[in-house]
Chain A
Amino acid sequence: MRNLFPRWVNTIPVKVILSLGIIGGTVTAGITYYATPKYTRVGYQPTQPVSYDHSFHAGQLGLDCRYCHHGVDKSSHANIPSANVCMSCHKNIKADSPLLAPIRDSYFGEDENKDGKLSEGEDLNDDGILNEGPSVPWVRIHKAPDYVYFNHAIHVNRGVSCVECHGRIDQMEVVHHDKPLSMAFCLECHRNPEKSLRPMNEVTNLAWSIASKEEEDSHITQFHAGLDIKNKWGVNPPLSCTGCHR
């Protein structure tokens, strides 16, 4: 009974450990790549009920972001505009376009004549409530988890541009998810805000980048300018849990 096990059996533990390591490594690498927002979220580009073209409105026409998303500098949410915002122009421009039918339905509701001009009291129904149709079901693209309380107002007012999280919306015909918006993404900026801070008036100018001297790398110019802003304004983004989780 001395040589019950052949000699190669001695290598089994090593092989098992090695293969477990490889499997473990592969799974970890796989999850890190395939199951994080960088892969799962970036590039999400759903079809919207109305094919609103940001590159035309915000890019070519140069509408400011806040014309439609007017709550962005006052509220935690950057609101999706209600139909009356669209209709303030489209009552006159392309007033009959079939592409805008959902907007018109949402705006006019039970208003029979749909002339676009409301006489007094016409926009109120019998109960004194605003007359409106069904909401336009815009598909949500950017969503923070329920336990994350992101506040737009503080970012926009403290010199963090829309472009930092949403990308070049002004160049997108159809909006897609551009940045991962994962916790690592948030913390990256909270740790080094100077890389992203800009003058308040340039926040909604998505094309803006700091004018740098010829020989200097624009990153370095931005770093110094950002640092200056950070110190002057007392920007000190929270790094603790309570900053975002409540």
Chain B
Amino acid sequence: MIKQVTEETLENGKRYWKSLDDLACKPSFKNWVEREFPEGASMLEGVQRRGFMKLMAASFGLAGLGMTGCRRPEHTILPYGKSPEELIPGVPNYYATSMPSAQGHTPLIVESHEGRPTKIEGNPSYIPNGGGTSIYAQASVLDLYDPDRSKSSLKRSNENEDSWDVISSDQVKEDLVNLMKEGKVAILAEKSSSTARKALSELLIEKGVIWTEHEAIDLTSPEYKLGNAIGTDSGLRLIPNLGKASRVLSLDCDFLGNREPFSLANTRALMKGRKVLSAKDAKKMNRLYSVESDLTITGGVADHRLRLESSQFIAFTNLLAAEIFTIRKSGSKAEITRLQERGNVLKTHAKWIRECAVDLCSKHKSSVILPGGHLPAEVHLLCYAINQALGCIGRTVQYQVTDKPASNLLSLQQAIGKDNVKTLIFLGGNPVHNASSLDWGNLSDKISNKIHLGDSVNETTSICDYHIGQSHYLESWDEGETWDGTGIVPVQPLLAPLFETMADLELLQLLLGSSQNTHDFVKSLQEKRSSTDSYEDFLRLGVEKQIPTYYSKEIPLSELSKYKEQIPKPPTLDNLEVLLIPDFHAWDGRYANNGWMQECPDPISKLTWDNALLISPALAKTLEEKYPSLGLIPEPTMLNKNGEIAPDAANFDHGKQKAPIVTLSISENQTIEGPLYVQPGLADCSIIATLGLGRTEVGRVGNGTGYNAYPLLGNNFDRIVSNVSIEPTGEFETLANVQEHWSMEGRAIVREGNAEEYISDEAFASHMGAESHSPKIWGKDQEADLKFKAQTTPRGNSSYEHPDHNYEKSETPGLHQWGMAIDLNQCTGCSACVVACQSENNIPIVGKDQVLRGREMHWIRLDRYFSSTARDGAELPSDVQVSFQGVACMHCETAPCETVCPVNATVHDEEGLNAMAYNRCVGTRYCANNCPYKVRRFNFFDWNKRQTDELYKGPLGKKNDPLPDMGKNPDVTVRMRGVMEKCTYCVQRIQESKIQVKVKAQRNALLSTGKDGADIELSNEDIKVPDGTIKTACQQVCPSDSISFGDLSDPESEVSKLKNNPRDYSVLGYLNTRPRTTFLAKVRNPNHSMPDFASSPHAAREYHDKAHPTHHEEGDHDNHAKEGEKH
């Protein structure tokens, strides 16, 4: 076996792989793949089977004696004394609110069951987001029920410095009023787009309070960089309007991901322009160029991607500007020559830049250039000039005029230095942790009262002597602006504060000495603003329109000549650069204690519970030569002369590669330690470090996760750090990476084609995969319509009759036939669906240790594949294409899991759902074994009941804090130990909709006849759920509408139409599982003239090379297609 694989590897060069180990065909990996389940996943750790039986024998004996529970325990039902209006027990209520953040408030609709918020959805009234939400908004409901939240206010005890006394909220109020009377109050607030807070802060400034704001990763900073460069006092915020764009160039700008604001609207608008349902759409499809140092999800979507270190973007933009000004004939010759000189270092990329510029100019007025927020002011000014030259300002991009910036940390430092501060209030945030370049010890000695308002005790609390618990946004009143300034949205509480906590507005009101409560205050603001709409209407709709002012003044190109300082030298492999980015899991650290975020795999690296220092394969190779003991790159499996497997230098532990820990340092004080992780697609000399993990004062979830990169962030909060040296510590760490799991190698799993291919052959996807060679799956019924196929399950070529899923007494084959279509072309990989599913379906968190054993429970697995150009030998590729594929239970019509269940716990229902009856399951795990998609998850432990570090103690393990249980969805069973689970197509939503439709039809008919109801006639149409009524949780959250769900027996439903699209294909279709979830092939739109153009996506070329190893020429898929038809 191994020998065979070796030959194959050497001959063809495998080009489609999921991880470095996979690529290298490590023996451990091969072994791993063959095992089917990860090591340890099927073993009872630490207890031998025999020992287990011995132990259990005693329990079996005792079980017979304990016949005590014959009667069930007495339950009580506790109704209200006075029932609140509009509350019917069992019927959820929905309220419009919004999630406050410095990146603009996100409009939301929140579901509440008997007063407990359980699920967050986007508010579709806000058009740019269209009902989508970010992954952080999805996860924020868990923060409300975080057992480590502040539950009261605390004051440092007088006797003992290290202990805290709980104080009442009345005492807090009194103390605050007294401190305000003493004067010399300063406030350091985290940034916010709250208009209510802004109004209060202005009043406080009038009263002489020093108001400062700080954010470590400040997404508003680019607007002030640009404003300064152009010479206005205010900020100029770039608002892309990608719906109108046909060419987009991103300069280190992850505008679809978590690094930039407005990413939801950007995703929605950009992906809409990439939706192709016919050849006509493909001609109009937009094209994305991405130049970046990190591999982001934006780079994953890009049609052309260039790797470039972040410090080189000044040179890049200058060169690009020179090209565009030349083509657009704006600017003098001297100007252009000067720009060319400034960009001279990047001459090697001249062709790429030129062709890109030509393409951008060919679609001027509908092209746009987006600079990353961390890039210097020169780049932002240049981009303004380029966008102006392209004539796209006012069309594909707007520059919104924003307010002057608030005073920052520097002015606070000065005020403290001048002894103007006696009381300092930290209003949220965690500056002691994320502004660690300041000498907080020294500063705090000069202030007598330090107060921290925060949602939990954190690093900043440690220098304070007063901590006030902050209310969650679902417990407070507020209002704020969306990022693009077109909407004002309310923050409306869904419940009274669970604990004795205070909202930031309440605290500010106290300081102002106002007795008005926050509700009345926010209401007064709204009433002042709008005379026509009532406050109730504002709360009901959740959005109020507002018209921002835009800046569109022409700037003379001579402005650009003011930048004369030297262009930073390109980093080299000995003189590296570090780019600091917000962590996917914790952002700047604020979600560090959120278990859903910690366990959700990073979209690209697929790391959970950890961050790593990402390095390029080129850098890894250099390091490996310098320090051979690192074991960074696993070697391909080779046989030595004796036919034995040659030893590998990489370090492995239980089949997991250990990551070497290294020290990065700029100076003696500024060093960090973290594990290295080799990530293809990075710029050669960039190291990517993430800010936010590695916190020291954090709750039980975030404790001990990752490393802290904040020490590298200097006084100016510049996230590009140069002149970094790297030194191994000699220690290793195992990273919980989910990417090696369930490898599906060398098959047409993700099918891709170029737009041109698609235009010439819309059904290119059906010529791929083994089923294109096999006899037709449906036999003579191959061409039958979906309705027929779904309702009757024709036998096809099978020698067996398919089971009849209609029940003995049922007369119809199911009114609906559910199915799902996932458009791979719309998916960016943002992972919001993973957390939305977790929130909707009560999916537990398992912890790092269990993820390492491959026992993560997510129902949606977002597979990420890399593919590269032709490659031979073991060299790791640097230029890769990324493909994402969300895989959940496919609800196969002829499901392999159903036939092997010994107790009929998983069976088909008449509407085509693959049902899972938890109460029947005995946990043989045979179904998971037989599932070709590997989408079934087993409850190895009582994840919901026991603490993650006490799992192995079984029933003796400590129970979980019950607080998070309040956020569970009451319509979904909380699974116990020993049962299998998997995607249900959100069956609770299906059943609820079916019931609602029937109830409504029945009542309407009764009302219209006015008789006793026995003579009502209802047709099937009356009791069928209309298309679009049911949205699965993953579908509802998706900002780019890549998932559609509905009734296959209705030829007019959206899902039926998509499934009839020629791009539609089934994964592993040749197995004749007939999955109800099918995928629409991905279409890329590359530019012919680009130097990195390839006539077919790498993924497709790899498939064709493998399917036809004899002829390697490009474009052989046409022959292949014909061949497929012949069969």
Chain A residues in the interface with B (C-beta under 8 A): 35, 40, 46, 70-71, 73-77, 79-85, 106-109, 123, 127-140, 143, 145-147, 149, 151, 153-154, 157-159, 190-192, 198-202, 225, 228-229, 232-234, 236, 238-243, 245-246
CA of A79 to CA of B1108 in the docked complex: distance in angstroms? 66
> What residues of A have a CB within 8 angstroms of the CB of B910 in the complex?
238-240
Closest residue of A by beta carbon distance from B812: A236
Q: Is the CB of A146 within 8 A of B973?
A: yes
CA distance A192 to B810 in the complex (A): 10
Contact (A234, B915) CB under 8 Å given A80-B77, A133-B81:
no
Q: Is B65 an interface residue (CB 8 A)?
A: no
In the assembled complex, the Cα of A109 lies from the Cα of B1002 at a distance in Å of 40
Out of A74, A84, A240, name the residue touching B88 (CB < 8 Å).
Answer: A74
Q: Which residue of B has the minimal Cβ distance to A84?
A: B82
Q: Which residues of A contact B81 (CB under 8 A)?
A: 82-84, 106-109, 130, 132-135
**B972 interfacial contact with A, CB 8 Å:** yes
Among residues of B, the one whose C-beta sits closest to the C-beta of A46 is: B74
Q: Which residue of B lies closest to A76 (CB)?
A: B90
B1020 at the interface (CB under 8 A from A): yes
Contact partners of B90 in chain A: CB under 8 A: 71, 75-77, 79
- Interface residues of B, CB < 8 Å — how many? 66
Distance (whole angstroms) from the CB of B895 to the closest CB of chain A: 14
A158 touches B77 (CB 8 A): no
C-alpha gap A131/B1023 in the complex (Å): 42
Cross-interface CB contact of A130 among B75, B82, B988, B1018, cutoff 8 Å: B82
Q: Given A82-B79, A158-B1002, answer yes or no on A239-B973 (Cβ-Cβ < 8 Å).
A: no
**CA of A85 to CA of B1015, assembled, Å:** 34
- Identify 15 new A-B residue pairs, CB closer than 8 A, beyond the known A130-B81, A198-B1014: A35-B70, A82-B82, A83-B79, A85-B83, A123-B82, A135-B81, A139-B77, A199-B1014, A234-B1018, A236-B811, A239-B809, A240-B805, A241-B920, A243-B909, A245-B973
**B79, B815, B913, B1016 — which one has the most chain A CB atoms within 10 A of its CB?**
B79
A6 to B890 CA separation, bound complex (whole angstroms): 65
CB of A149 within 8 A of CB of B918, answer: no
Name the CB-closest residue of B to A156: B999
* Nearest CB on B from A105, distance (A): 8
B463 at the binding interface (Cβ < 8 Å): no
A77 partner residues in chain B, CB cutoff 8 A: 89-90
Which of B77, B88, B808, B972 meets A71, CB within 8 Å? B88
- Give bound CA distance, A81 to B84, whole Å: 12
What are the residues of chain A within 8 A of B999 when measuring CB–CB? 73-74, 153-154, 157
Question: Hey, which chain B residues are within 8 Å of A106, CB to CB?
Answer: 81
* B918: chain A residues within 8 A (beta carbon): 147, 245
In chain B, positions 987-1026 with a C-beta closer than 8 Å to chain A are: 987-988, 990-991, 995, 998-999, 1002-1003, 1006, 1012-1020, 1022-1023
* Interface-central residue, B91, B973, B988, B1014, by most chain A CB under 10 Å: B1014
Q: Contacts of B815 on A, CB cut-off 8 Å?
A: 236
Residue B971 at the chain A interface, CB threshold 8 Å: yes
B75, B82, B91, B974: residue with the most chain A Cβ atoms closer than 10 Å: B82
- B907 lies within 8 A of chain A by Cβ: yes
In the complex where A82-B81, A139-B74, A149-B971 touch, is A245 in contact with B917 (Cβ < 8 A)? Answer: yes
SS class of chain B's interface: helix, strand, loop or mixed?
loop
Say whether B987 contacts A242, CB under 8 Å. yes
Q: How far is the CA of A135 from the CA of B80 in the complex (A)?
A: 6
Query: Is the Cβ of A199 less than 8 Å from the Cβ of B75?
Result: no
Chain A neighbourhood of B807, CB < 8 A: 239-240
* Interface: B561 (CB within 8 A): no
A234 and B1020 contact, CB distance less than 8 A? yes
Asked whether, in the complex, the Cβ of A136 is within 8 Å of the Cβ of B79, the reply is: yes
Contact of A157 with B1014 in the complex, beta carbons under 8 Å: no
B71 at the interface (CB under 8 A from A): yes
B334 sits at the interface (CB 8 A): no
Interface centre among A131, A136, A143, by most B CB within 10 Å?
A: A136
Nearest first, the 9 closest Cβ-Cβ pairs linking A and B are A132-B81, A200-B1013, A240-B909, A75-B90, A135-B78, A77-B90, A239-B807, A199-B1014, A140-B75
Complexed CA–CA distance, A24 and B385 (Å): 89
Q: In the complex, which residues of chain B have a beta carbon less than 8 angstroms from the beta carbon of A84?
A: 80-83
> Is there contact, CB below 8 Å, between A233 and B88?
no
CB within 8 Å of A: which B383-410 residues = none
Q: A83-B80, A202-B1012, A233-B1002 are contacts. A74–B91 as well, Cβ < 8 Å? A: yes
CA–CA, A135 and B483, complex, Å: 45
Could you give, for residues 199-231 of chain B, a 1 whenever the CB lies within 8 Å of some chain A CB and a 0 otherwise? 000000000000000000000000000000000
- Which residues of A sit under 8 angstroms from B793, Cβ to Cβ? none
Distance in angstroms between the alpha carbons of A73 and B808 in the assembled complex: 29
Between A and B, 20 residue pairs with Cβ closer than 8 Å are: A75-B89, A75-B90, A83-B79, A83-B81, A106-B81, A107-B82, A132-B82, A135-B79, A138-B77, A138-B79, A139-B74, A140-B74, A140-B75, A147-B973, A199-B1014, A236-B811, A239-B809, A240-B907, A242-B909, A245-B919
B496 at the interface (CB under 8 A from A): yes
Q: Are A153 and B1016 in contact (CB under 8 A)?
A: no
Query: Which of B89, B918, B972 has the largest number of chain A CB atoms within 10 A?
Result: B89
CB A39 to nearest CB in B, in angstroms, measures: 10
Would you call B76 an interface residue if the criterion is a C-beta within 8 Å of the partner chain's C-beta atoms? yes
Query: Which residue of chain B is the closest to A127 with respect to CB atoms?
Result: B496
User: What's the Cα separation between A127 and B496 when bound, in Å?
Assistant: 9
B80 touches A149 (CB 8 A): no
Q: Point out the residue from B913, B972, B1015, B1019 that lies within 8 Å of A242, measured CB to CB.
A: B913
Query: Is residue B280 within 8 Å, beta carbon to beta carbon, of the partner chain?
Result: no
CA distance A131 to B88 in the complex (A): 19
**Are B71 and A40 interface neighbours, CB within 8 A?**
yes
A199–B696 CA distance with the chains assembled, in angstroms: 67
Contact status B917-A241, CB under 8 Å: yes
Closest to A198 in B: B1014
Q: Judge whether B89 and A242 touch: CB under 8 Å.
A: no
> How far, in whole Å, are A134 and B75 apart by their CA atoms in the complex?
16
A235 to chain B, nearest CB (A): 9
Q: Which residue of A lies closest to B88 (CB)?
A: A71
Residue from the list B89, B995, B1017 in contact with A151, Cβ < 8 A: B995
The answer to whether the Cβ of B509 comes within 8 Å of any Cβ in the partner chain is: no
Given A82-B83, A241-B907, A245-B918, does the pair A200, B1006 have CB atoms closer than 8 Å? yes
With A153-B999, A233-B1018 known as contacts, the answer to whether A240 contacts B1012 (CB < 8 A) is: no
B921, chain A: closest CB distance, angstroms:
11
**A4 CA to B865 CA in the complex, in Å?**
75
Over the window 954-998 of chain B, the binary record of Cβ atoms lying under 8 Å from chain A Cβ atoms (1 yes, 0 no) is 000000000000000001111000000000100110110001001
Name A75's contact: one of B70, B91, B908, B984 (CB within 8 Å): B91
- Give CA–CA (A143, B71) in the complex, Å: 13
Complex CA–CA separation, A233 to B997 (angstroms): 13
- Cβ B915 vs Cβ A240 within 8 A: yes
Among B75, B991, B1012, point to the contact of A243 (Cβ < 8 A): B991
Question: Which chain A residues lie closer than 8 Å to B1122 at the CB level?
Answer: none
* Residues of chain A within 8 A of B809, CB atoms compared: 190-192, 239
How close is B518's CB to chain A, nearest CB, in angstroms?
Answer: 11
When distances are taken between beta carbons in the complex, the residues of chain A under 8 Å from B496 are: 127, 129
Instruction: Decide if B953 is an interface residue (CB 8 Å cutoff).
Output: no
Q: Kindly state whether residue B72 has any CB partner on chain A within 8 Å.
A: yes
- Shortest beta-carbon distance, A113 to chain B, in Å? 16
Cα distance, A35 to B91, chains bound together (Å) = 34
Query: Smallest CB-CB separation from A225: which chain B residue?
Result: B1014
For B80, B908, B984, which residue has the most chain A Cβ atoms within 10 angstroms?
Answer: B80
Least CB distance from B509 to A in Å reads 15
Once the chains are docked, how many angstroms separate the CA of A76 from the CA of B994? 13
Query: From residue A211, how far is it (CB to closest CB) to chain B in Å?
Result: 12
List the B residue with the shortest CB-CB distance to A132.
Answer: B81
Q: Is A201 in contact with B973, judged by CB distance below 8 angstroms?
A: no
Please state if A81 and B79 are interface contacts (CB–CB under 8 Å): yes
Q: Which residue of chain B is the closest to A140 with respect to CB atoms? A: B75
Interchain CB contact (< 8 A) of B77 among A70, A140, A159, A201:
A140
Question: Which residues of chain A have C-beta atoms less than 8 A from B1013's C-beta?
Answer: 159, 199-201
Given A79-B90, A154-B998, is A245 in contact with B1017 using a C-beta cutoff of 8 Å?
Answer: no
